[in-house]
Structure 1
Amino acid sequence: MSIQSYLSVLADNDLFGSLATLCFLAGCSGLFSRIRNTRTHRALTFVSLMAVPALHAVGTFFLNQAPA
């Protein structure tokens, strides 16, 4: 399986909807100080914040490839 087919399957599996849900949960749970100070919330926030730049980096890499 090539990376292009893997990414197309991943995008079809509602990747962005799942990411939006993850970010929404991280944002809503951040409203409560008891939850906000846990390691789980910090990991959830880190993952949700770093997912967007990671997707951008992968997309930029593949857009800069020479056509086959």
Structure 2
Amino acid sequence: MGKGHVRFFYPRLGYLAKRQAAIIDEMLARGYSPQFTNIDQLLDGFPDVWCNDWEPTEDAVAINRARISERLAKRP
């Protein structure tokens, strides 16, 4: 990934907060004890313009899955 992938998410922090919540829920469901579980204040202090949601396109999901498959295929 290039350096632009981080900037892509600047105005989409709402999406990242939802993902964080989903990851925490999944960890708890699997018996893990994540250190950080308080997502209520995750976006406090950020301007509203940065806290938008985002939905990846089907093409974006397919590209991501292909990249993961390529990396897994290279593992010994």
Global fold match (TM > 0.5): no
- Which is helix-richer, 1 or 2? 1
TM-score (norm 2): 0.32
* Higher RCO (Cα < 8 Å, 6 or more apart): 2
TM-score (norm 1): 0.34
